[in-house]
Amino acid sequence: MATEVTLRAPGAAANPLRAGLDSNRIVDPCTIVFFGASGDLTKRMLIPAMYNLRLGDVLPTSFAIIGFSRSDKSHYDFREEMKEAIDQFSRSGPAKDPLWSDFAERMHYIQGSFDDVESFKELKRQLEENDEKLGTAGNRLYYLATPPGIFATVIQQLAAVGLGPKDQAQGWSRVIVEKPFGTDLESARALQAEVTKVFDEKQVYRIDHYLGKEPVQDIMALRFANVMFEPIWNRLYVDCIQITAAETVGVEGRGGYYEHAGALRDMIQNHVMNLLALVAMEPPISPHADHIRDEKFKVLSALRPIAEDEVARVTARGQYGPGLIEGKPVPGYREEESVDPNSITETYACVKFFVDNWRWADVPFYLRSGKRLARKHSEIAVKFRGIPHRIFGEAGDQIETNTLVMKIQPEEGVSIRFNAKIPGPKMHIRGVTMDFNYGTGFGVVSAPAYERLIGDAMRGDATLFTRWDAVECAWVAVMPVLNRWTEPRQVDFPNYLAGSQGPQPADALLVADGREWRRI
Amino acid sequence: MSLHLDSPTDTNAILAQLDRSRHAGGDPGTRVVTMNFVVFVDDPAHRVWVLLRAQLVAQKHPSRLIVLDSTNATSGVEVSTATRENGGATIVNERVQIGVSTLDHRSIISLVHELSVPDIETVLWWSGARLLQSRTFSGIANHAGTVLVDSSGKARGEETIRELGEFLSWFPSVALRDLAFMRLMPWQDMIAQFFDDPALREDLFSIEGLEIESGSDAEALYLAGWLGSRLSWEIAERDAFRDRSGRRIPFTKIDKGDQRRVGSVVLRSRDSVYRAALSEADPHVVALSVEGAKATAVRYVPLQNVGNTSLIERAILENAHDRIFETSLLTVRELLG
């Protein structure tokens, strides 16, 4: 078993100059390896995130980056390509010397095929050279930014050349796995079996960039750093919870991937289920990663199973046709590149879940996600029950039920909708909104999720990453829906216009319960 | 919406105007005020700089901004409110700017008390030349939760820092913040970085010399005071400390560069020299190097300079005592004698 080398305890605690200094710097030296280094994710998100971590002085003193991909290029070409990516996509603008030169010198590139063991031997050689020349101390973070089908191959190859954590004489190894973790329950379990042959669960960081967003982290702060919400956060006061992840974009050139994914796999099974877990979980006993993840697991394992014959009653799906987004015409899904003209892949999914526990018994959780909707908008809305007895308000006044909304994107904040008396001699009642916005409330701009999450993985903080038991539970929960939806049958697609609120069956699902969706 | 009043002491009229101004743009709905932000300015050359930053802070944080202008540039009282839509809610900011150059300290203190929203935090940003010698300052500080000053700059110097030292004993319950010290955080972090490496940490206890280059006094003094207080150095004389083993540590202050900016910090140990200096290629980058027995390659670190407006915001948001600052300040005060 490898010995973990960490400078954290002696480095930070024993330096008397550190007292009172609020530093986010990662202490452990490390090399981070990006598999899929020629891909869009690496260029648009990962390398700009790394550079911004450097600009923020968050990276450790000794760090290195290795790009691994099939494309044939030199170290120099890779550095130039990544500089262009930073210049184009970094939130802090173009890369400049002397920091860029210093950053670039720590970047190397390995050209190779994922199933070629020789390429991995070359990777090992480069890692050892980094340890010796750049002081990275044997600590390795592998980032699988590859298509999901290659995850297992990469992990097997790492083990084959002695780069698995069990082979290390010193230092730690961790692996970041991009979503989706499997394409269904069976494939997820198979992938997990391959991963755990090489890495322990504590060394696996399943990334869900939604969890890196500041408002998502604030869900726990709102609930557990305040006393006024928890007493009413239960079936006695909550009528229902609506979780929305709406996008205006289409498949953005990823039609090939999306055809095999769909909204249920792409969004509901991971991002949206994670939000459900955070909003429904019991208070953890500490902020420790495993204490939080234990509570999330309990919620997901309490989801009431959906019988396949009730799928039609508790779910709805849709596919967008042509329409208008921000006044501009956009094609329908079936007209998108690499999409089957008769595709039955859903671009919109909504599911009604119940959490069968003491707190949430019979409170419906409505989850929805879709592409090409009216607005880019993600939120969790906690809708409270109505007042038990009406004493105020004139006959025509509508007494609204209270709603607490956690806004995730693009707005980030919290709003509360409650009733107030309209000034005047009569007791007219009107709904008003009290709003908190991160940007104006704290005067700071949240760092992009990838910066936060890569930094956390380098620190070894798994709080914002998804543990296997939660992934498995989420797959178990959606499998009956997935099975039903993948049956070959006639589907009336497309069934919603691009730029609309979504398909009519989704509205009907709530209307049948005597409720309605919040407007997107 | 902006309105003018001639009499600066008629607080009822001012509050009434404020109310009218608030409603002039229609019903603002829910009104949130999180602090009274009192700003005093008496230097005409500095006035616009201060007012602009005060306004920027007040715009972000729903507040009642009370500007006490002692420069003769404001006559009477200007009352204004600004509203902005934010996610469906209306944020209201209130501003009262009063010309106080002809008012005595009692009137000014009374004005501040009567115009402040009760039961919320009062933050005083004092950019006046005199501190404790000013009865206005003492009167307002007594009712503030946080007092913010800037001991850096041409008009400032050792006397300001001496007064701040006194302030701590006069107003023990008030959180004091000095922008000059807050600006040094990136430099403190960079110096600390050298000694995060356990292999170099012992050198921290064998420092034999300290040299700081800066454009104004406060920065060099505060950095020296911070190092001295963290490492339990005693004051040997005006330009030297003494460590716990009794070794004398000369402190050289080099006046060079832009106001409010540090150029370099050099720490000499028995066998190595630790140097943090602004890069010649990019003034926003600092080169960290160790020369001598424990030599390391030069490492470039981005200088995480925080803008003055953000520093003011930070002081407001962290409305608690900063013990590291306070012990550094007391060390500097002792150094100055």
Predicted local confidence at residue B156, as pLDDT = 64
Are residue A220 and residue A170 in the same domain, yes or no? no
Give the pLDDT confidence of B167-217 residue by residue, as tens digits: 998 999 999 999 999 999 999 999 998 998 888 888 888 999 999 999 888
**Among all residues of chain A, which has the CA nearest to that of B199?**
A11
Answer whether B281 touches A (CB < 8 Å): yes
**What's the distance, CA A412 to chain centroid?**
15
Extract the tokens encoding A323: 């329409």
R_g of chain A computed on alpha carbons: 25
Of B196, B281, B324, the CB nearest to A98: B281
In 3-state terms, what secondary structure has residue A486? coil
Using a pLDDT cut of 70, give the percent of chain B over it.
92
**Integer Cα distance of A409 and A142 in angstroms:** 29
pLDDT in tens, A447-457: 788 999 999 99
Average pLDDT, chain B: 86
Q: How near does any CA of chain A get to the CA of B153, in Å?
A: 24
* Position A436 in a domain: yes
Q: Is residue B207 within 8 Å of residue B268, measured between CB atoms? A: yes
A-facing residues of B in 106-165 (CB < 8 A) are none
Distance separating alpha carbons of residues A377 and B43, to the nearest angstrom: 48
Q: Are A174 and A219 part of one and the same domain? A: no
Q: Which segment of A294-303, A444-453, A474-483, B320-329 scores lowest on mean pLDDT?
A: A444-453
* Beta-carbon separation of B189 and A23 below 8 A: yes
At A1, the pLDDT band (50, 70, 90 cuts) reads: very low
DSSP B303-326: -----HHHHHHHHHHS-S--HHHH
Residues A347/A318, Cβ–Cβ less than 8 Å: yes
Q: Higher-confidence residue: A8 or B195?
A: B195
CB B223 within 8 A of CB B188: yes
Instruction: Considering only the beta carbons, identify the residue of B91, B204, B282 that sits closest to A98.
Output: B282
pLDDT tier, A7 (very low <50, low <70, confident <90, very high otherwise): very low
Residues of B within 8 A of A434 (CB-CB) are 30, 89
Nearest chain A residue to B89 by CA distance is: A435
Which candidate from A17, A27, A407 shows the least CB-CB separation from B230? Answer: A17
**What are the C-alpha distances in Å from B250 to residues B209, B216, B296?**
5, 19, 25
Q: Give the pLDDT of residue B31.
A: 59
User: For A424, how many CA atoms within 13 A lie in the half-sphere containing its CB?
Assistant: 11
A171 is a domain residue: yes
A137 and A224 part of one domain: no
Same domain, A75 and A220: no
Averaged pLDDT, A49-55: 94
ipTM confidence score: 0.82
The enclosing domain of A64 has a CATH number of 3.40.50.720
Whether B301 and chain A come into contact, CB under 8 Å, resolves to yes
Nearest C-alpha in A relative to B202 = A15
Residue B255 CA, distance from chain mean position: 21
Mark which residues 200-239 of B lie under 8 Å from A by CB: 201, 204, 227, 230-231
Q: How confident is the model over A313-333, as pLDDT tens digits? A: 999 999 999 999 988 999 999
For residues B66-86, one letter each, b for 16 or more C-beta atoms within 10 angstroms of the residue's C-beta and e for the rest, the string is: bbbbbbeebeebbbbbbbeeb
Q: Give the model confidence (pLDDT) of B129-160 as tens digits.
A: 788 888 999 999 988 999 999 888 655 677 88
Residue B143 is predicted with a pLDDT of: 87
Q: Let me know if residue A336 belongs to a domain.
A: yes
The pair phi, psi for residue A242, each rounded to 5°, is -115, 125
Q: Using the beta-carbon criterion (under 8 Å), do B282 and A97 form an inter-chain contact?
A: yes
Which stretches within chain B are classed as H helix? 11-24, 44-60, 105-115, 135-141, 158-170, 179-182, 185-194, 198-201, 217-230, 308-317, 323-336
pLDDT higher than threshold 80 for residue A186? yes
B322 lies within 8 A of chain A by CB? yes
Average pLDDT over residues A417-425: 85
Q: Is there a single domain that holds both residue A217 and residue A365?
A: yes
Give the range of the structural domain holding residue A413, as residue numbers without chain letter. Answer: 211-443+466-511
The answer to whether residue B300 neighbours chain A at the CB level (below 8 Å) is yes
d(Cα A395, Cα B108) in Å, to the nearest integer? Answer: 52
Using CB atoms, which residue from B61, B192, B322 is nearest to A17? B192
Residues A213-252: tens digit of each pLDDT: 888 888 999 999 999 999 999 999 999 999 999 999 998 8
CA–CA separation, A501 and B27 (whole Å)? 31
Rg of the Cα atoms in chain B: 23
What's the pLDDT at A4?
39
Q: Report the alpha-carbon distance of residue B196 to residue A14 in Å, rounded.
A: 8
Please tell me whether residues A145 and A227 are part of one structural domain.
no
User: Percent of chain A at pLDDT above 70?
Assistant: 96
**Phi, psi for B36 (deg, rounded to 5):** -95, 125
Flag whether pLDDT at A471 surpasses 60: yes
- A274 and A156 in a single domain? The answer is no
The residue among A386, A384, A364 whose CA lies nearest residue A231 is: A384
**Who's near B314: CB < 8 A, 6+ residues apart?**
B182, B306
Q: Helix, strand or coil for residue B227?
A: helix
- In terms of Cβ atoms closer than 10 Å to its own Cβ (0-12, 13-18, 19+), residue B238 is exposed
**What pLDDT does residue A426 have?**
81
- Mention every residue, 6+ apart, whose C-beta is less than 8 A from residue A211: A217, A274, A449, A453, A464, A465, A466
Nearest partner of A51 among A7, A8, A6, A106, judged by Cα: A106
Tell me: do A297 and A341 sit in the same domain: yes
Least confident of A178-182, A465-469, B152-156: B152-156
Residue of A nearest to B281 (CA): A98
A389 catalytic residue (yes or no): no
Query: From the list B30, B192, B231, which residue is nearest A21 (CB)?
Result: B192
Residues B266/B256, Cβ–Cβ less than 8 Å? no
Contact A44, A141 (CB under 8 A): no
Q: Record the tokens describing residue A37, joined without a space.
A: 């280094």
Q: Give yes or no for B245 touching A (CB within 8 A).
A: no
For the segment A370-404, what is each residue's pLDDT rounded down to a tens digit? 999 999 999 999 999 999 888 876 777 788 999 99
Which pLDDT score is estimated for B276?
Answer: 96
Q: What is the pLDDT of residue A12?
A: 43
Tally of residues, chain A: 520
Q: Residues A121, A221: one domain?
A: no
Q: Does B15 touch chain A (CB under 8 A)?
A: no
Does residue B178 sit in helix, strand or coil? strand
* Residue among B259, B231, B218, B215 nearest B327 (CA): B231
Q: Are strands B234-237 and B240-242 parallel, antiparallel or unpaired?
A: antiparallel
* List of chain A residues whose C-beta atoms are within 8 Å of the C-beta of residue B323: 20
Q: Is the domain of A304 the same as that of A401?
A: yes
Residues of A in contact with B30 (CB under 8 A): 432-434
The alpha carbon of residue A325 is apart from the nearest alpha carbon of chain B, in Å, by 21
Nearest CA in chain B to A99: B300
CATH number at residue A342: 3.30.360.10
Domain count for chain A, please give it.
2
**Is residue A13 one of the residues assigned to a domain?**
yes
| Residue A8 scores a pLDDT above 50 | no
Least confident of A26-30, A372-376, A513-517, B94-98: A26-30
How far away is chain B from the Cα of A8, in angstroms, using its nearest Cα?
A: 9
Which of the residues A75, A271, A389, A428 is marked catalytic? Answer: A271
Q: A129 with A262, same domain?
A: no
Among A178, A195, A230, where does a domain finish? A178
CB of B73 within 8 Å of a chain A CB? The answer is no
CA dihedral B254, B256, B260, B264 (to 10 degrees): -60
The reply to whether residue A17 touches residue B88, judged by beta carbons under 8 angstroms, is no
B321 touches A: beta carbon within 8 Å: no
pLDDT band at A10 (very low <50, low <70, confident <90, very high): very low
pLDDT (mean) for A477-488: 91
Quick one: A335 and A381 in the same domain? Answer: yes
